[in-house]
Chain A
Amino acid sequence: MRNCYINGIATLSAQPTTDPDHFLEEIIEHTTPIFKAYDPDYKSYIKPAAMRRMSKAVKMGVTTAKMALEMASLDMPDAIITGTGMGCKQDSEKFLEKILNDDEQFLTPTLFIQSTHNTVGGQIALTLGCKGYNVTYVQEAVSFEVAVMDAQLMLSETPEKQILVGGIDEIPKNSTLLHQLDGQLKTEEHINVVQLLDSTTQGTVASEGATCIVLSAEKTPNSIASIKAVEIISSASSSTIQEKINAFLIAEGMTPSDIDAVILGNNGDSNYDYYYHDIQQALFQHTEQLCYKHLTGDYLVASSVGFWLSSKILQKQQVPPVTKVNAVTASQYKNILLYNQYQGKNHSIVLMQHVHA
């Protein structure tokens, strides 16, 4: 698939990642297993009349879309492609609660209209007045990566286009509580999330966020990093993943030693973090290893934070110390590999590269 360039990127997460002047120098230390995204001043990006009906996911998506477009110096993308694991579940839950509470009467349209998975993509298009291609992918923990792959395909056919790709997920109250019951989330009332990666209990911590990137086939003056290759694997054992990563690197003419830093999706789940631990020891023992979910929590498009982290590292040539999980430090950052999975499924492998001036 075609190499593409990131010309603008914005991430809204449980850390103040939307502030362009900060790169995780100061962090918020969360202490509960479910924590919300850090709210920027949404009113700077969305008109109050439009915002009054927007759920958190829509506000996060529209805001990061505008931030990424501004960074890319682009007013109007040619296409909008979004990925979401859960969609606008907050409004879905409110709509269902109203059905129950009002005995299936007095149903209003707003919650229903705003409860579909493609609401965010639609609202971004409405806000911008974009009438181009608009598709939303719902593919669990690889939703964002699938959206990126669709953009790569489009750019290989129409290289003149600039595409806005987004990944958005919000915390739905009831579904998140169900995930605590089925073991996906930790049940401790208080938890030091910064220490998440040392956890020995099952489940992870839940949060929410949005990432938007502007992609093009050709390098522009605003390009900060490139996405060289993306691969997704539905289900695989740890040993198969190691083979897949090796094969992925060979296909790009590389070996693990060519990777300057590896960004991993460790989420403190004692049942599944062995996928990461195995490759940390077997493939990347002598490579700088970085993690981020002990800062931003996990959600189905949390891997998009890895794209943001990688882009910033490649652009700034510096790593936030709070993300480092081993003692290795690269001398420079040219090639960064991202690997993520959720509960042993939906694995993604991504290679990102430095853009030469």
Chain B
Amino acid sequence: MATLPEELKTKIIEQLHLEDIEVAEIGDDDPLFGDGLGLDSIDALELIVLLEKEYGIKLKDPKEGKLIFESVNVMAAYIEKNRSK
């Protein structure tokens, strides 16, 4: 069974149409935005929807995303703590 970080990487690739990127290419601590995966503000909105749809987490303040989406590991830790499904 895939670990949460691996599961997250698969979902991120699928949701953001990162067709040329493999799960193994995303490091657990790599930054998702900026120099890492190079995601942008539209991707941030897509990730907010992913959290709600897949894990039942509704971000009340979109600014929280800046911290939560720092890396796959940070995201996974936040999901473990707050998930409702």
Contact = CB atoms under 8 A, between A and B. Distances in A.
Interface of A: 48-49, 52-53, 102, 105-110, 113
A69 B85 CA distance: 51
Interface in B17-59: 17-20, 38, 42, 45-46, 49, 52-53
B16 interface: yes
Contacts of A105: 53
Given A102-B53, A106-B53, A49 B38 contact: yes
A99 B78 CA distance: 28
A113 B42 contact: yes
B9 to A, nearest CB: 16
A110 B19 contact: no
A220 B15 CA distance: 46
A102 B38 CA distance: 28
Contact of A108 (B18, B19, B38, B46): B46
B30 to A, nearest CB: 15
Given A49-B38, A102-B53, A108 B45 contact: yes
Nearest to A48: B20
A107 B52 CA distance: 11
A109 B16 contact: no
A53 B17 CA distance: 7
* A-B pairs with lowest CB-CB distance, top 7: A52-B17, A106-B53, A108-B49, A109-B45, A48-B20, A108-B46, A106-B49
Contacts, number: 26
Contacts of A49: 38
Contacts of B46: 108-110
A308 B46 CA distance: 40
B39 to A, nearest CB: 9
B38 to A, nearest CB: 6
A110 B20 CA distance: 18
6 contacts: A48-B20, A52-B17, A52-B19, A106-B53, A108-B15, A109-B42
Contacts of A52: 16-20
A55 to B, nearest CB: 11
Given A48-B20, A106-B53, A108-B49, 20 more contacts: A48-B19, A52-B16, A52-B17, A52-B18, A52-B19, A52-B20, A53-B17, A53-B42, A102-B53, A105-B53, A106-B49, A106-B52, A107-B49, A108-B15, A108-B46, A109-B42, A109-B46, A110-B42, A110-B46, A113-B42
B79 to A, nearest CB: 16
Nearest to B19: A52
Nearest to B17: A52
A102 B54 CA distance: 12
Contacts of B19: 48, 52
A106 B53 CA distance: 6
Contacts of A108: 15, 45-46, 49
A2 B42 CA distance: 43
A327 to B, nearest CB: 50
Residue among A53, A107, A108 having the largest count of chain B Cβ atoms under 10 Å: A108
Contacts of B17: 52-53
Contacts of A106: 49, 52-53
B71 to A, nearest CB: 19
Contacts of B20: 48, 52
B59 to A, nearest CB: 13
A105 B58 CA distance: 12
Nearest to B38: A49
A108 B51 CA distance: 12
A112 B17 CA distance: 15
Contacts of B49: 106-108
Contacts of B16: 52
A52 B17 CA distance: 5
A105 B49 CA distance: 9
A113 B40 CA distance: 14
A48 B20 CA distance: 8
Nearest to A51: B19
Contacts of A53: 17, 42
